[in-house]
């Protein structure tokens, strides 16, 4: 009996040890080599040391060199109360609005120098004036609106808009989401009944530039044919690409049918936390400055102890980033970092006054003097240039899968940027919107036409070894391209396939 009890004790101890080993293996589990290789290829590259002095000089050249502030506009703040644009306006009223607009942009828009400065903007102004002088005495405000949009279209900034027109030159992925290929040392192939059939050419070209990492419904890594294309390029609902495939000595022709990947088309507000198939999921449709986001921050203290986490940023329209920083602090125990960047804030009186009048709700806890302090007009009209140059990844034991799409913008993209510098994070979906370079946008109105303006007062440029990265209209690329509507189910299949969840 004594020996039997000893044997039971030994078995219990062994079982506990095995359990500890299994839990340790699970917690230390990594993505597969193929997945890690794909992730590494989609992160900023730093093959050589950054020349910070050269980058600072280049960044400073994007900041308008003010030599005087005597011409700053007298803000017509009463116009901010306008409910809708006027139906018609006179030529003189339009000319006054044009002068006011370009004065606002010079002293209030952070991208003025970045997009060409006086040379580009004043040339656009002169063309507008020329068109207006040739017009009749009175015309529709819509015609005037179109005139402004036409001559300012050299701006590529998702935070710059006039009424409902945003000056962002977007890019979308066109892909055949039905043709799955695999890859070996010989190239991209499909299995047929007799063996592997390799792709020799796509549209008569070497195929490598047309293949993108993707996931099938079972979570397996596959490769699909596609191309990233500017949205303004006219195209049909689909595009055919000729494929030449070879199996042994046999050769045949086939076609890939490319369709535009799009956003999920579902928007909303706020934060949600739930489980699906035993996996914790948080969904963020925006970043409101509201009490519900306090729960988002509190949940981070539990989520950081999970093995897996899905963060759904599809359709995230951005917003107030304060709670995002708090969540990251809690989730990483204060260890999170961001990628290298340069940043500057426009500090003119025009910019600071617009900021104060654009965010009355955000500023209710502050006095005017306290809020003006960071935006005092310096001799240069700019804040100091802020830099961050840390290249290390943030340690992170939690395996995170992030879902994103072309409707992920602004603060949503800021979250993506931080997560890209964390260990063990995978991105699924499509490229984000690319509303990133300018921030802290303000609201203004042209006094005569009543046309509403929206533009940024902070410039931020990220970088890698090649220099500054222009993400505007292009955004951040996923590690695996997936139709946004299928992204959550695909993510769950990917986790089951690569992490052992059942």
Over residues 307-311, mean pLDDT: 96
Q: What integer pLDDT is reported at residue 389 of this predicted model?
A: 80
pLDDT-derived band at 364 (thresholds 50, 70, 90) equals very low
Residue predicted with more confidence, 433 or 359: 433
The domain ranges of the chain are 171-260
Q: What integer pLDDT is reported at residue 10 of this predicted model?
A: 42
CA 213/CA 222 separation, integer angstroms: 6
Mean pLDDT of the chain, nearest integer:
86
Flag whether pLDDT at 385 surpasses 70: yes
Q: What integer pLDDT is reported at residue 268 of this predicted model?
A: 62
Flag whether pLDDT at 55 surpasses 80: yes
Over residues 233-249, mean pLDDT: 85
Q: Which two tokens stand for residue 279?
A: 């996996």
pLDDT-derived band at 234 (thresholds 50, 70, 90) equals low
Rg of the Cα atoms in the chain: 27
Q: Which two tokens stand for residue 49?
A: 């040391």
Q: What integer pLDDT is reported at residue 48 of this predicted model?
A: 64
Over residues 426-444, mean pLDDT: 94
Let me know if 91 is exposed, middle or buried by CB neighbors in 10 A (0-12, 13-18, 19+). middle
CA 12/CA 10 separation, integer angstroms: 5
Q: List the one residue out of 415, 355, 360 whose CA is nearest residue 383.
A: 355
The rounded percent of the chain whose pLDDT value lies above 90 is 66
Over residues 357-366, mean pLDDT: 55
148: left (phi over 0), alpha (psi -120 to 50) or beta: alpha
Over residues 177-185, mean pLDDT: 95
């Amino acid at each position: 009996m004594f020996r039997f009890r000893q044997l039971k004790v030994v078995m219990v101890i062994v079982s506990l040890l095995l359990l500890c080993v299994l839990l340790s293996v699970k917690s230390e589990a990594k993505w597969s080599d193929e997945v890690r290789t794909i992730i590494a290829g989609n992160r900023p590259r730093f093959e050589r040391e950054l020349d910070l002095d050269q980058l600072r000089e280049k960044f400073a050249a994007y900041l308008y060199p003010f030599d005087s502030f005597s011409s700053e506009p007298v803000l017509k703040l009463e116009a901010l109360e306008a409910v809708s644009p006027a139906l018609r306006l006179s030529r003189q009223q339009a000319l006054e609005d044009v002068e006011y607009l370009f004065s606002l942009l010079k002293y209030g828009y952070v991208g003025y120098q970045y997009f060409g400065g006086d040379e580009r903007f004043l040339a656009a102004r002169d063309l507008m004036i020329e068109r207006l002088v040739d017009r009749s005495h009175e015309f529709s405000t819509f015609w005037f609106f179109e005139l402004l949009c036409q001559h300012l279209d050299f701006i590529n900034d998702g935070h710059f808009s006039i009424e409902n027109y945003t000056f962002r030159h977007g890019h979308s992925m066109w892909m055949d989401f039905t043709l799955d290929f695999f890859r070996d040392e010989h190239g991209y192939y499909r299995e047929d009944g007799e063996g592997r059939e390799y792709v020799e050419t796509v549209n008569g070209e070497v195929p490598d530039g047309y293949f993108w990492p993707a996931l099938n419904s079972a979570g397996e890594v596959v490769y699909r044919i596609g191309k990233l294309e500017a949205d303004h390029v006219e195209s049909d609902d689909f595009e055919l690409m000729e494929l030449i495939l070879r199996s042994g000595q046999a050769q045949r022709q086939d076609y890939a049918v490319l369709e535009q990947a799009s956003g999920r088309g579902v928007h909303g507000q706020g934060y949600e936390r739930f489980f699906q198939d035993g996996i914790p999921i948080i969904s963020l449709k925006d970043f409101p400055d509201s009490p519900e986001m306090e729960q988002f921050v509190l949940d981070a203290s539990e989520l950081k102890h999970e093995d897996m986490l899905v963060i759904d940023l599809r359709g995230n329209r951005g917003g107030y980033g304060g709670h995002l920083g708090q969540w990251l602090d809690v989730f990483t125990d204060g260890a999170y970092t961001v990628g290298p960047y340069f940043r500057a804030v426009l500090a003119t009186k025009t910019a600071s006054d617009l900021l104060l009048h654009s965010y009355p709700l955000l500023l209710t806890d502050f006095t005017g003097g306290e809020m003006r302090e960071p935006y005092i007009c310096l001799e240069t009209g700019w804040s100091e240039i802020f830099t961050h140059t840390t290249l290390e990844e943030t340690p992170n034991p939690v395996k995170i899968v992030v879902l994103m799409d072309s409707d992920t913008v602004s603060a949503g993209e800021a979250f993506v940027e931080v997560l890209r510098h964390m260990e063990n994070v995978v991105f699924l979906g499509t490229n984000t919107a690319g509303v990133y370079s300018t921030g802290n946008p303000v609201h203004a109105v042209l006094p005569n036409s009543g046309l509403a303006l929206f533009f940024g007062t902070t410039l931020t440029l990220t970088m890698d070894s090649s220099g500054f990265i222009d993400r505007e209209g292009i955004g951040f690329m996923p590690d695996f391209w997936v139709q946004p509507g299928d992204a959550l189910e695909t993510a769950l299949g990917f986790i089951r396939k690569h992490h052992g969840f059942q």
